[in-house]
Amino acid sequence: MARILPLEQPLEWLQTQAGGLAAARPLRGLDEKASLAVGEQLLWVADNPLAASRETLERLPDWVNPQVAFEDYEKAACEALASTVEADGPLYKALLELADHSRIENRMIATETLALLGEYDPLVALLSELPPEGLGRRRWEAFEAKTVPLALADESLARLLEQVLRERLPQDRGEIAIKLARRTLPAESLAGLTSQLITLLEDEQPLLRRYAIQWLEELYDLSDSDRLRYRVDWPAQERKEGADWWRNRFEKERLTPRTAGMQSPTSENGR
């Protein structure tokens, strides 16, 4: 869910393309130009990303209350987005600039907002970046879960995201990334799928390594210490050692599949 909620003064909302051109495909349920009163919110929800709704709130949400504690970085990111929305000039351009901000939290909130508008270049760039400039593991998984499945759930948005993946990743890596994100990597068996994923742990593309280890951990029961055997941001030699640990356990049949993984390594519909 995403929303815009004016708190101190009305907000004029104008749907445009880059450069201020008229929107080629305005959000359903909202005029191209709309005025939001204080206490009236503009709302998007995950199951209908191409539509928006307006509603007047009887009470402000808890996160508006200054007594509700925010992490400093969350508060700063929200303030940065609010400043971007209130600033003069095209909102799209301002969001792109915020998505390239040095502060990772600002990049996240701007990138997520742009993704709701069908702009996926910043999203793929951020998901492909490694720490310290990019996201750590837990934040990457949470951020990916909020953005990529939402895009893949809509046919039009999925095409846009897949196009960006093909353009940004070399050779066939974009197609592989799409299959990894959808959980539709072709395999006749769990063993065949596992072998492919272990190989991808050594791939040069960080995005493919991210998805490969994430999927492997979805397929197999692992201890906390097992999960520390591999990290996508390790140097190449250490990544190879981590991949070799997975390969050794796999070849010796010392990996315990989860129930879902035993039933079907892939599904027709994926995620």
Domain count within the chain: 2
Q: What is the DSSP string of 183-240?
A: T----SSHHHHHHHHHHHTT-S-HHHHHHHHHHHHHHEE--TTGGGS--TTS-HHHHH
Pick the closest to residue 105 from 88, 130, 91, 126 (CA basis).
126
In this structure, the answer to whether residues 102 and 17 fall within a common structural domain is yes
Residue 129 located in a structural domain: yes
In this structure, the answer to whether residues 99 and 223 fall within a common structural domain is no
In this structure, the answer to whether residues 7 and 131 fall within a common structural domain is yes
CA distance 164 to 143: 18
Specify the residue for token string 């492919």. Answer: 196
What is the domain range of residue 141?
Answer: 2-22+31-152
In this structure, the answer to whether residues 76 and 192 fall within a common structural domain is no
Helical H segments across 61-154, by residue range:
72-86, 91-98, 104-116, 121-128, 137-152
Tens of pLDDT, residue by residue over 48-76, are 667 777 777 766 665 555 444 445 556 66
The model's pTM: 0.69
Confidence at 212, pLDDT banded by 50, 70, 90? very high
Tens of pLDDT, residue by residue over 143-154, are 999 999 999 999
In this structure, the answer to whether residues 111 and 47 fall within a common structural domain is yes
Residue 36 located in a structural domain: yes
In this structure, the answer to whether residues 227 and 123 fall within a common structural domain is no
In this structure, the answer to whether residues 11 and 144 fall within a common structural domain is yes
Pick the closest to residue 109 from 139, 129, 89, 138 (CA basis).
139
CB–CB of 168/235 below 8 Å? no
